[in-house]
Structure 1
Amino acid sequence: MIRSLEFDGYRGFPCRRQYDRSQPFQRLDLAPLTLLIGRNNAGKTSVATLLYQVLGGLAGISKEALPLTVGGSPVAECFQDLLPARDLSAFLELAVSIATKSGLHRLETILYLRSLLDDDPRPRARHVGWDGADYPAPDGPLECFPIPEVPEQTAVRDEARQILQASVWLGPLRERVPEIPSRHGHNPQTPTIGPSGQGVTELLAEDETVFGEVSTWLAANAGLSLRWEKNLDLWRLQTTRGVARSVPITQVGTGVHQLLPVLTLAKWRNRNANPRPFIDVVQQPELHLHDALHSMLGDLFLDVARTGVGITVVETHAEGLLLRVRRRIAESEGEIPPELVALYYIDDAPDGSTLRRIRILETGEVDYWPPGVFLESYEEVKALRRAQRLKGH
């Protein structure tokens, strides 16, 4: 479906092309595993959010060109909130590369607000293009992402809707996993995991294979296994560590509750017998996890990527996750090609955020690395050694 997204003039990413058309877009080329890194408040979440907004707009899920609710939470009150510094004179320019049965197509549009005096807060389209040709822009406020009347129009809408239904947005703060699954079950074609991790217990209860793989992974990497225990007429999710007596899932540490939705989703994606294309977003999968498990997450996401079915976008601060991905590429002898992974650095420059791709080579090396990123531990060790030398004198 969406192969790449280009944009200009979105939130912290400034309008560069509005006054100088020679300026490049911010460009996100999607790979089966797409990793977003950067400092806090640089714009990692904004990039993932815009991708989902465009997907939702193409699907026509609301009366908005770019839906203002993503991952179950509002991301803006109105379109003006999406413009840099909420500047009414700013344009939001978008270009989407879309793969259809007829080939790869390029959809372009420029969205703007007419004035503060306009009672309708929805944007209008200044321009609509398809494969380099201009088409008439719709009159009035937009009710969905503008697609011109081309033969692929209906197919694009339908496929966007199907992909959105099959996708999962996992937010950065997952809820504690409940002990007792609800009785309504789950759809075997869709991993009904909510933005806060809702539905994990139900999926584990309904899918024995996924339950077994999740429990095995936890036992091997975290020393913790899962089991079901029946109490009266209710099945309860229990945990066991070593030979100790089992305790309810509700009594284990926060890290397990943050990890379980991520782990369950990955194992479900790996074994799904009837896969459907998807675009999953996982924010901070490493939250509350010990550093030793960060690298294991890299293997989890690579396994999903190698199925070749969908796209997983991961927003992370975990150095171990990135190192494991680079290591696997280097030692795979071509089985895990660098093209399987797209790594992006979002830089919060003084004049606005920028999106830059870091290409991973077959050796696991990178063609660029931003200064100061993931060097904190190295700098602390240097400072420690310096202090030790001074005390030694």
Structure 2
Amino acid sequence: MFTKLRIKNFKAWGEQLWDPGIELAPVTLLLGTNSSGKTSLLQVPLLLGQTFGSTDRSLDLNLGGQKGDLLDLGGYEDVIHGHDGSLDMGFGLSIKDQEPGSKRPSVFTYTVQYRRAGTIPVVAELEYREAASIYAASRQSKGGYRLQAPGYEPEVIGGRPVARRTFQPERSLTLSADALAELGEAGSRVQDLALATTRQVLERVAYLGPLRESPERSYLWGRQTPGSLGPRGQRAVHALLASANSRKKCRDEQEGGRGWLVERVSEWLKRIGVADGLELERQGRSRYFEVVLTTRAQRANIVDVGFGVSQVLPMIVLAYFVPRGTVIIAEQPEIHLHPSAQVGLAELMVEVARERQVQFIVETHSEHLFRRLQFLIADGKTRPEDCRMYFAEPGDDGRAELRPLEVDPYGRIANWPDRFFGDAVGETERQMRAMVRRMKAQQSGGRRG
């Protein structure tokens, strides 16, 4: 789980969120106007994960552009704030990690900063902080890296601690083999922290983008369980087929097993009001399957029902497909949904976060989803500290601004932003004025006649 995110000089964000950071909760909503920097916040763990997973160990930051990359952000001057290549850029994540077999989670902070060297970004500083212990590698003026760790006393040459190019960090994640050997016992702890960061950022983050795959009349399935649903949710049906045909028996009060995922998804489709159930039907003896939805005793192929069903399906599947402890990053999960169905997404996130310890970091424009979260807080189904909400907006100086919404135990917002969801009051006032103006005009015309 991520408990805090930090960002410096990345796209619309300057340095205002570097020191305080952004507190994250089991459910975190990012609201605000278009082009206000919300997506850039979501891209931080995705960009780091893309870098950690690179096969090029010498690459400091993988901004994308190759086949298989999730993000393609261009060059350093495309992503640095104000396109000012002289600035340093930085990211940070505070992580609560439950190591396999451990009784207590470890809590630590990972930060990395970059500066431009020629035309490419290089690590200026990599740091792991655990309680009062700091493990770091800092780039010096001649390109060497100086190390810091508890109990480590560096060699001093010419009155300065030694800095070597061979200590350069790898993939913004860990120290080089030479640096780890130099640190001795502290180097082992750096490896442990790097492994925990990899586990959380690379293996426990699932992303669902704002554009979903269109539904198909039939799906070819090769009897494989997908490793992920994909950024467009394109393998959601394959995950359902794997569940329906699993050899593992479904046991009470245990996750997984034959049909478990299909049952959870069917339940939520009914709860949010878009279908009464979902079935998977094989076409003869082929490898093709249909997704059939039932609604008020009527059965129809997913292609023949409202488009919103196919668009929300990946979000529901993802909530139960991912392992416990996963972080789901989603953009506009409410897309193409009727307002009455959008409120169900709030209930889905709150319940899954509580029952499966899945964290949701979501960008949304849905007033209905937001309002239902307020109700769930007021109703005691969740707490303000378990459901953080932020409002992003462009500032006058070109920097994005992020306002934490202050929510009390009854779901009330103390610092309601101007035109939070448009100008509903103003639109009503303008409608009334137009109505009065036309009625007067009609009355005047009638008298003249």
Q: Does 1:13 align with 2:47?
A: no
Q: Match of 1:94?
A: 91
Matched position secondary structure for 2:108: strand
2:225 is aligned with 1:186: yes
**Does structure 2 conserve the Cα–Cα contact (< 8 Å) formed by 1:55 and 1:160?**
no
Matched, 1:229 2:281: yes
Q: 1:222 to 1:133 in 2, by over 3 A?
A: closer
| Aligned amino acid, residue 312 of structure 2 | L
1:32 aligns with 2:26: yes
8 Å CA contact retained: 2:7, 2:15 = no
Q: CA deviation at 1:261?
A: 0.3
CA-CA distance at 1:154 after TM superposition? 1.9
Q: Deviations over 1:75-134 (max 9, x none)?
A: 312333221132111111334323356843334443110344xxxx23231574645757
Q: Give per-residue Cα distances to partners, 1:39-85, cap 9 Å, x unaligned.
A: 11111110000132235556677544443249953331233322113
| Matched positions, count | 372
User: How far apart are the structure 2 equivalents of 1:162 and 1:212?
Assistant: 29
Counterpart of 1:112, as a letter, is R
Q: Distance in 1 between matches of 2:126 and 2:284?
A: 63
**Residue matched to 1:329:** 377
> Which 5+ residue runs of structure 1 have no aligned equivalent?
17-22, 270-274
CA-to-aligned-CA distance 1:301-333 (integer Å, 9 cap, x gap): 11121125232111100000011011011111x
Could you report, residue by residue, the CA deviation over 1:152-176 in whole angstroms, capped at 9, with x for unpaired residues? 3222322333332233100000002
Q: Higher relative contact order by CA 8 Å / sep ≥ 6: 1 or 2? A: 1
- Range 342-351 or range 63-72, more displaced: 63-72
| C-alpha distance in structure 1 between counterparts of 2:267 and 2:107, whole Å | 41
Q: CA deviation at 1:5?
A: 1.7
| Aligned positions of 1:362-381 closer than 5 A | 362-381=409-428
TM-score by length of 2: 0.74
- Aligned alpha-carbon RMSD (Å): 2.9
C-alpha displacement at 1:379, in angstroms?
2.8
Aligned runs of 1:297-336 on 2, under 5 Å?
297-307=345-355, 309-332=357-380, 335-336=381-382
Deviation at residue 279 of structure 1 after TM alignment: 1.4
Cα gap change, 1:366 to 1:185, in 2 (>3 Å)? same
> Equivalent of 1:280, from 318, 328, 342?
328
Does 1:217 find its partner at 2:275? no
Where do residues 339-350 of structure 1 align in structure 2 (5 Å cutoff)?
A: 339-350=385-396
What is the alpha-carbon distance in structure 1 between the residues aligned to residue 389 and residue 37 of structure 2?
Answer: 15
Gapped runs of 5+ residues in structure 2? 98-103, 145-164, 181-185, 244-258, 441-449
Q: Contact 2:36–2:400 at 8 Å: present in 1 too? A: yes
**Cross-structure match for 1:114:** 117
Query: Retained in 1: the 8 A contact 2:344–2:369?
Result: yes
CA distance in 2, matches of 1:211, 1:193: 15
Q: Cα gap change, 1:348/1:132 in structure 2, threshold over 3 Å: closer, same or farther?
A: farther
Q: Normalised by the size of structure 1, how large is the TM-score?
A: 0.84
Instruction: Tell me whether 24-33 or 58-67 shows the greater mean CA deviation.
Output: 58-67
1:176 alignment partner, one of 214, 229, 232: 214
Query: Displacement, 1:15?
Result: 4.5
Query: How has the CA–CA distance of structure 1 residues 24 and 132 changed in structure 2, closer, same or farther, with 3 Å as cutoff?
Result: farther
CA apart distance, 1:185? 2.1
Residue 272 (structure 1) aligns with: none
Residue 262 of structure 1 is aligned with which of 292, 295, 315? Answer: 315
The structure that has the greater radius of gyration is 2
One-letter amino acid of the structure 1 residue matched with residue 113 of structure 2? I
Name the SS for the 1:222 alignment partner: coil
Distance between the aligned counterparts of 2:389 and 2:307, measured in 1? 28
Alpha-carbon contact 2:6-2:18 (below 8 Å) kept: no
Q: Percent identity?
A: 24
The structural deviation recorded for 1:354 is 1.9
Partner of 2:305 in structure 1?
252
Name 1:158's counterpart in structure 2: 195
CA contact (8 A) 1:226 1:238 kept: yes
Instruction: Assess, with a 3 A threshold, how the Cα gap between structure 1 residues 45 and 354 changes in structure 2: closer, same or farther.
Output: same
